[in-house]
Structures are given as C-alpha cells and as structure tokens.
Amino acid sequence: MDAPLPGYACPVTRFDTVRVAAIQATPVILDAERSVEKAAQLLGEAAAQGAQLAVLPETFIPLYPSNAWARQAAGFSGFDELWERLWENSVDVPGPLVDRLVDACAAHQLHCAIGVNERESERPGSLYNTLLLLGPGGLLWKHRKLMPTHHERLFHGFGRGDDLQVTDTRVGRIGGLICWENRMPLARYALYRGGPQIWVAPTADDTDVWIANMRHIAVESGAFVVGAPQYIPRSAFPADFPVELPDRPVFGRGGAVIVEPTWGEVIAGPLYDQEGIVIADCDLRLGLHAKRWYDSVGHYSREEVLSVIASAAPTSGSAAPADFTGDSNGSEKPAARAAPGGA
C-alpha cells in the first residue's frame, strides 16, 4: 500500500496508468506442482510485456470441475479416485504452493490474482473455490466463492462472505468475484462500496453472455474489469484421468477480456480457442471520470431509500437481506508465510 501523504492518516487514492494482463491458460490437470510451475512461468511472460497485475483463471490449480463431466458426481459411487487426487493437488492457504507464487511475484515485481481449489490440511475434507490476490510481499487477500454454481456444489463448500473486501495495493484498489458470483447484485454492491479501481473475474464461463456481464460490471463499478477464463482442450487431460469424458474436443474455449469503465468498451480480447495473454494499459483516471456521471454506491445509489426495501422481512423461503454496514476496505498487509516444509 502507498504511504500516507504528510498530514494525512490514510493513503490518498492514486490514479496511475496500470498495465494489466488477463492470462488464458490450461492447467496441468490434477498436478498442483506443475500447475504452479506453469503459473510462475506465465507471470514471467506477462511481466516481460510490462504487466503490473496478472489475472489467471478460476481454479487454475489444479482443475475446474466442468459440468460436461462433473455432474456425474451426483451419484454416490464412481468419483472417489478423482476426489482423492483433487484433494491431494489442492492448495493450503497459506502454504508452500502459495509461497512459490509469491516468490514469482517478487521476482517479477507484479501482483497476481489466481483461482485455486483450496483445502484445509489440518481438517481434511471440504474443498473451496478460492480467489487469491498476491503481491511481491505475500498473500494480500483470500476470497472463497459464496455460491458454487450448480454442479460445483458437488465439489466445493460455501464461502462465508466475510471476505468481500477491496484491497489497496501499489497498482490500485483491487476487488472482484469468481465466475457466476459476478451475477450476484448484493455481492457486487458490497465490493463496490470499497471503491475498486480494477475488478478481477477469474471464470470458467466461455459464453457471449459472460462478455456482456464484464461490460456491465465495468460501467456499474466504475472499474476496469479483467476476465480470465481457462482454455481446456481434451488433449490436456492425462491418460489416467479417473472419470470418463464425453466425446468433445474442447471443454472451455476461453474468452479473456479487459473492459474499460466509461462506456464498457472492450479494450483487449476477447481471445478464444487458444492459450494466450491479452494486455491493456488502464488509466485509472477513467474510473473517476465515469463516477462523475454514475456512481452506483454514491450519488446514484439512493441507498437510504433502497435499504428499506432490502431490509423488509423476507418472504417465505427467501434469504435474509445482506448487511452492508461492514467495512469493505482491505489493505496491502501480507499474511504469514508457511513454515519451511510445512503445509
């Protein structure tokens, strides 16, 4: 985080131009060590092109459970081997795999957002679809997906929502959500209140609607939006993948994209049907300009009116309203590193 200006208790938000990369890549499926090695290499490639922030896909380590084959896990049998291998190749946070990614950020002097399957080695069991924000100094933010989508609930637990924060970093105020969480209005609003300048959106969605979502969020948030999906050809699956795959050549065609916040124009991508990196220079002043016209949590929010509606007693079977009284701001304070050789 930037140091406060003399006479001010808090740092003043800066409006630099930041080079951002959306990395569309294929993990080394069910191999966490090699997936981390590949991620570190890709961070180096992005840094060589001048990137200061790089975003990698949802659950890049070590696999996204695609609906094309993962829905079969609704049965009680047949998925034990996959579950065991997925757990063995998931990520402790903090942990040694995270430390290696932090080392790559330090070596290349950039920040990184990456999706992982997160486990808890001290209590082996559930996995979580988790988004990490890393910097040269360490782990800055961890967010567990609030609502695993449909078939994902066969693999991932539910996030608690106590991590809906924006983190102030040297490259700007960064927030974001995972895949279809980006369709959740109240989750978006909670983060908007933290004033993100760059919105990271790791995903497995390769549809045209996803690009429309990214353009909408850019305008609604007043932030640059970085969408980073996986590209998953059938050839990426190992010969010993323990689940039968349907007969199709591609399980995720990508769609990496970067969108600006004034009119929601696509300024890089979308990239389809290959691995690659899309890059854009993001002038953060544009977010400030956009909020002169439309600030969804400021002069255009009318929260004092709409909160009455949101606070009304829920109808039968509906969820209780979200509480927006908490602080949505995080700061660049790294979490502790794992002990050498520890999980």
- Residue 158 domain flag: yes
Q: How many domains does the chain have?
A: 1
Please tell me which residue in 38, 118, 142, 179 is annotated as part of the active site: 179
- Residue 341 domain flag: no
- Domain carrying residue 224: 17-331
Q: Tell me: the pLDDT tens digits for 326-342?
A: 455 666 666 555 544 44
pLDDT band at 153 (very low <50, low <70, confident <90, very high): confident
- Residue 189 domain flag: yes
Please tell me which residue in 38, 142, 145, 291 is annotated as part of the active site: 145
Average pLDDT over residues 39-50: 98
Nearest CA to 246 out of 68, 64, 29 is that of: 68
Supply the pLDDT for residue 4.
Answer: 47
Distance CA 260, CA 258 (A): 7
Supply the pLDDT for residue 320.
Answer: 45
**Would you state the torsion angle of the CA atoms of residues 122, 127, 128, 132, taken in this order, to the nearest 10 degrees?**
60
- Highest mean pLDDT among 156-160, 307-311, 326-330 belongs to 156-160
- Residue 336 domain flag: no
Residue 179: active-site member? yes
Supply the pLDDT for residue 152.
Answer: 86
- Residue 280 domain flag: yes
pLDDT above 90 coverage of the chain, percent: 73
Q: Tell me: the pLDDT tens digits for 79-98?
A: 889 999 999 999 999 999 99
pLDDT at 207 over 90: yes
- Residue 114 domain flag: yes
**Would you state the torsion angle of the CA atoms of residues 342, 178, 202, 226, taken in this order, to the nearest 10 degrees?**
-130
Residue 38: active-site member? no
Distance CA 293, CA 263 (A): 11
Residue 58: active-site member? yes
pTM: 0.89
In whole numbers, what is the pLDDT of the chain averaged over residues?
89
Residues 60/115, Cβ–Cβ less than 8 Å? yes
pLDDT band at 130 (very low <50, low <70, confident <90, very high): very high
Supply the pLDDT for residue 340.
Answer: 46
Please tell me which residue in 58, 152, 220, 332 is annotated as part of the active site: 58
pLDDT above 70 coverage of the chain, percent: 86
Supply the pLDDT for residue 330.
Answer: 60
Nearest CA to 258 out of 15, 16, 1, 18 is that of: 18
Query: Which CATH number characterizes residue 267's domain?
Result: 3.60.110.10
- Residue 127 domain flag: yes
- Residue 5 domain flag: no
Residues 96/260, Cβ–Cβ less than 8 Å? no
Phi and psi of 281, rounded to 5°? -90, 120
